[in-house]
Amino acid sequence: MTAGPLVDPAAIERATRLLAAGGLVAFPTETVYGLGADADDAEAVRAIFAAKGRPADHPVIVHVHDASAIGAWASGAPDAARQLAQAFWPGPLTLVLPRSPRAHDALTGGQASVGLRCPAHRWARALLAAFAALRGDPMAALAAPSANSFGRISPTTAAHVRADLGEKPQGRVDLILDGGPCPVGIESTIVDLTGAAPRLLRHGAISRGQVEATIGCAVPDAGAGAPRASGRLLSHYAPRAPLELLEPSRLPARINALRGTRLAVLAPAAALLDWPASVVLRLVAPADAATYARRLYALLHQLDESGAERILAAAPPHGELWEAVGDRLRRAAAAAEPDEDGT
């Protein structure tokens, strides 16, 4: 499966040349925009961290063109890795595997594991293919975290990247490729296959049930002691104004209690009735999980730009399909509180 609009070959060519020269290129994937650098170039990878303002000991995902690259970047990958790659690559799934010597410390944050993902977006695939061709190495790959400043909302359009990181000389990125809005909209599911049993490090569009059905065993959430993963910090995916997540039925009372405070509200259409003028922006929460995921970060960006002092969001429905959206909203809501690291 590939996704996204047709690529612009001239833009891809410019991007590959910049990447081969150690530059940073923001590119669309089906999940969110990534901030890419040559995965073999430790200095370029460190430049990603500097551009994002992200701590250097966080690992970054290595994006590969196809599953044949698993053997180059990981060593001793279990059967489950091949099964999952076969079932879901290219697609929104990241596998954490024991690293090979090629996966250097700047990629892994000094850990013994490496995160690998093969993206499905047409532009990402074209970029990876052209980059590998230019490097003359089919295993050449791109290190890429989401293309946002550390702790800020992930970008699902090129405009989001432009507004946050920006292009040089004023901004921090050499080139921002515009391949349209990301069709999945939230980051990949991450499965850790380095331990005795597989664990889910991050919820995404590939559900726990799909992963479990493919490898034939339970895949519980990772608990304490899990590998460092910046997406696991609670204070992530955060708008600037404090975001409060509450049951839809509690919204009217909460809005009344906050009269006099400029509010932005994200709630199902039915809950968006007659509200006081203190509500400066009301956005309709999509009714199905895939649409909600696709639009989530654009909605958070809009809420953020509304000038509201506080954001109220209705809690989404329960159930497996909603796990990833619920997880991102809870993290956005937790931003005003101390996170897992107590910072």
What residue ranges bind Mg ion (CB under 5 A)?
Answer: 146
Which of 3, 12, 60, 299 contacts ligand TXA by CB under 6 A? 60
Which of 16, 156, 157, 188 contacts ligand TXA by CB under 6 A? 188
Q: Is 48 or 215 the residue whose CB approaches Mg ion more closely?
A: 48
Q: Is 146 or 157 the residue whose CB approaches Mg ion more closely?
A: 146
**Quick one: which segment of 42-50, 140-148, 241-249, 327-335 binds ligand TXA (CB under 6 A)?**
140-148
Closest distance between ligand TXA and the C-beta of residue 251, in Å? Answer: 31
Which of 11, 95, 144, 333 contacts ligand TXA by CB under 6 A? 144
113 interacts with ligand TXA by CB under 6 A: yes
Backbone angles phi and psi of 54, in degrees to 5:
-100, 140
Angle at which helix 289-305 crosses helix 323-334, to 10 degrees, equals 20
From CA 73, how far away is CA 39, in angstroms rounded?
10
Q: Please, are residues 285 and 265 in contact by the beta-carbon 8 Å criterion?
A: no
34 interacts with ligand TXA by CB under 6 A: yes
Q: Is 11 or 143 the residue whose CB approaches ligand TXA more closely?
A: 143
Which of 72, 114, 132, 332 contacts ligand TXA by CB under 6 A? 114
Q: Please, are residues 181 and 187 in contact by the beta-carbon 8 Å criterion?
A: no
Q: Is 7 or 61 the residue whose CB approaches Mg ion more closely?
A: 61
Nearest to 88 by CA among 116, 108, 62: 116
- Segment 207 to 266, residues that bind ligand TXA, using CB under 6 A: 227-232
Long-range contacts from 83-89, C-beta under 8 angstroms, 24+ separation: 83/214, 83/215, 84/191, 84/193, 84/211, 84/214, 84/215, 85/118, 87/210, 87/214, 88/206, 88/210, 88/214, 89/117, 89/118, 89/120
The conformational region for residue 76 under phi > 0 = left, psi -120 to 50 = alpha, else beta, is left
61 interacts with ligand TXA by CB under 6 A: yes
Backbone angles phi and psi of 234, in degrees to 5:
-65, -35
- Segment 285 to 304, residues that bind ligand TXA, using CB under 6 A: none
Residue with tokens 């695939």, as numbered in its chain: 125
Q: Is 113 or 146 the residue whose CB approaches Mg ion more closely?
A: 146
Q: Number of residues interacting with ligand TXA: please give it, by CB under 6 A.
A: 31
**Quick one: which segment of 141-149, 162-170, 247-255, 269-277 binds ligand TXA (CB under 6 A)?**
141-149
Q: Please, are residues 70 and 86 in contact by the beta-carbon 8 Å criterion?
A: no
Closest distance between Mg ion and the C-beta of residue 20, in Å? Answer: 25
Which of 4, 90, 115, 286 contacts ligand TXA by CB under 6 A? 115
Eight-class DSSP state of 65: S
- Chain position whose Cβ is nearest to Mg ion: 146
185 interacts with ligand TXA by CB under 6 A: no
Q: What residues have CB less than 8 Å from 264, skipping those under 6 apart?
A: 241, 279, 280, 281, 282, 283, 303, 306, 308, 310, 311, 312
Binding site for ligand TXA (CB under 6 A): 29, 31-32, 34, 58-61, 92, 94, 96, 108, 111, 113-115, 117, 119, 144-146, 187-188, 190, 201, 227-232
